[in-house]
């Protein structure tokens, strides 16, 4: 395809009189990125790429996080509104923060590199268009996994799709850098066949997002009780999580239901959380008591968690957690500790830092 910045070699076929619509602009980023960036850089329609990205972010959240949003709302109404807001903040942060941070850094880089034609608004519009593959791949990947009922994704598969998304986006940013140096007045509109293909691709993206939403709603219809936030006196929700071996590799699975007859302390933690690290000696002391099992469920970095604790002579069992287990146990802060009696009933939930020993004593005595 010819360089869209060169009007002397532009396609002579008739072009749409107006800028392509939202659906077409989204599709062009996937099928004809040079044209997508040309449209994004057109100052006659400044800001449209940013608006497009906001809509795609909204579609991503709906396509991938409805179950989590439902659980957060239930937590807000059944336990505490502040906990629900924390959960909502975590959902949005985990879903969007890294991609949006990359977007901002990329926009600043384009602005710096544009030289004499430097325009912050134009750089941001180009970055929004270039970043679209990050969000589209996430929608497609998650929808496919949910469609096949896969909740725990093998690490290598995650890396493959992550590499595709970031590699694709990196290529678009390289094209955007070239487009940032082109005068806005020299930018034509895409030819009708190109726009038509982009529209079909954009409709495909929206169809996949709608499918992702439908899959989640279908799951909720039959399993919504599984998202009810845990409270004192509830039967502890079952989970089966892998132990963590060297290099963060998954080991034998520990099933909570198999621990009936013991007092179980489930501690959700992260490697960056200093209060979590500080509380480990107290948890280890409980793990050394007869009839008490302590499960230290790491929720951020299995490899680093093993490096910190896996090689030492601990009685605690180090497990690799997942988002669904954390969600089911209403984890919104770290550490988050749940004390379960011998019959599998939740007796105490400690958010932040508390006296785990006293909670265990009340059961043992």
- Three-state DSSP class for 243? strand
In whole angstroms, how far apart are CA 275 and each of 28, 224, 280?
Answer: 48, 33, 9
Average pLDDT over residues 160-186: 86
pLDDT (0 to 100) of residue 194: 93
First to last CA, the chain: 78
pLDDT at 243 over 60: yes
Whether pLDDT at 3 is above 90: no
Residue 120, CB-side half-sphere exposure with 13 Å CA sphere: 3
* 247, pLDDT greater than 90: no
Q: What is the pLDDT of residue 112?
A: 92
pTM as predicted: 0.77
Q: Omega of the bond prior to 335 within 30 degrees of 0, cis? A: yes
12: pLDDT strictly greater than 50: no
Q: What pLDDT shows up at residue 14?
A: 42
Q: What are phi and psi of 165, to 5 degrees?
A: -60, -50
Give domain limits for the chain: 7-227, 240-364
- The string of pLDDT tens digits covering residues 67-90 is 889 988 998 998 888 888 988 998
The Cα–Cα gap between 12 and 2 comes to 12
pLDDT (tens digit per residue) in 185-212: 556 778 999 999 999 999 999 999 999 9
How many other CB atoms are found less than 10 A from the CB of residue 330? Answer: 27
Residue 66's pLDDT is: 92
Residue 6 scores a pLDDT above 70: no
Looking at the domain covering 240-364, what would its CATH class be?
Answer: alpha beta
Task: Give me the pLDDT at residue 36, please.
Answer: 93
Cα 60 to Cα 96: distance, rounded to the nearest angstrom = 9
User: Cβ distance 271 to 300 under 8 Å?
Assistant: yes
Averaged pLDDT score across all residues of the chain: 87
Confidence of residue 266 (pLDDT cuts 50, 70, 90): very high
CA distance 335 to 326: 12
Contacts of 107 (CB under 8 A, 6+ apart): 120, 123, 124, 126, 127, 128
């Amino acid at each position: 395809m010819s360089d869209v910045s060169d009007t002397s070699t532009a396609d002579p076929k008739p072009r749409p009189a107006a800028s392509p619509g939202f659906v077409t602009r989204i599709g062009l980023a996937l099928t004809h990125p040079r044209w997508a960036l040309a449209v994004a850089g057109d100052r006659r329609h400044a800001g449209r790429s940013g608006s497009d990205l906001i809509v795609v972010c909204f579609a991503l959240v709906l396509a991938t996080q409805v179950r989590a949003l439902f659980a957060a709302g239930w937590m807000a109404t059944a336990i505490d509104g502040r906990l629900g807001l924390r959960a909502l903040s975590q959902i949005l942060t985990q879903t969007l923060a890294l991609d949006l941070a990359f977007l901002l850094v990329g926009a600043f880089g384009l602005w710096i590199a544009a030289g004499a034609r430097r325009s912050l608004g134009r750089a941001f519009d180009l970055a929004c268009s270039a970043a679209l593959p990050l969000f589209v791949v996430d929608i497609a990947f998650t929808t496919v996994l949910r469609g096949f009922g896969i909740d725990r994704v093998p690490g290598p598969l995650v890396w493959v799709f992550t590499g595709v998304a970031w590699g694709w986006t990196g290529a678009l940013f390289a094209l955007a850098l070239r487009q940032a140096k082109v005068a806005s007045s020299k930018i034509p509109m895409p030819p009708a066949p190109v726009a038509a293909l982009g529209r079909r691709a954009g409709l495909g993206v929206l169809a996949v997002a709608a499918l992702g939403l439908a899959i989640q709603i279908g799951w909720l219809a039959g399993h919504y009780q599984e998202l009810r936030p845990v409270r004192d006196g509830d039967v502890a929700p079952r989970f089966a999580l892998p132990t963590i071996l060297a290099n963060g590799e998954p080991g034998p699975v520990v099933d909570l239901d198999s621990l009936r007859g013991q007092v179980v302390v489930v501690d959700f933690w992260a490697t960056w959380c200093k209060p979590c690290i500080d509380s480990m000696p107290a948890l280890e002391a409980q793990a050394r008591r007869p009839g008490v099992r302590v499960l230290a469920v790491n929720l951020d970095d299995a490899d680093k968690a093993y490096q910190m604790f896996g090689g030492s002579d601990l009685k605690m069992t180090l497990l690799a957690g997942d988002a669904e287990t954390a969600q089911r146990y209403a984890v919104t802060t770290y550490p988050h500790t749940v004390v379960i009696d011998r019959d599998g009933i939740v007796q105490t939930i400690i958010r932040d830092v508390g006296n785990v020993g006293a909670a265990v004593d009340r059961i043992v005595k």
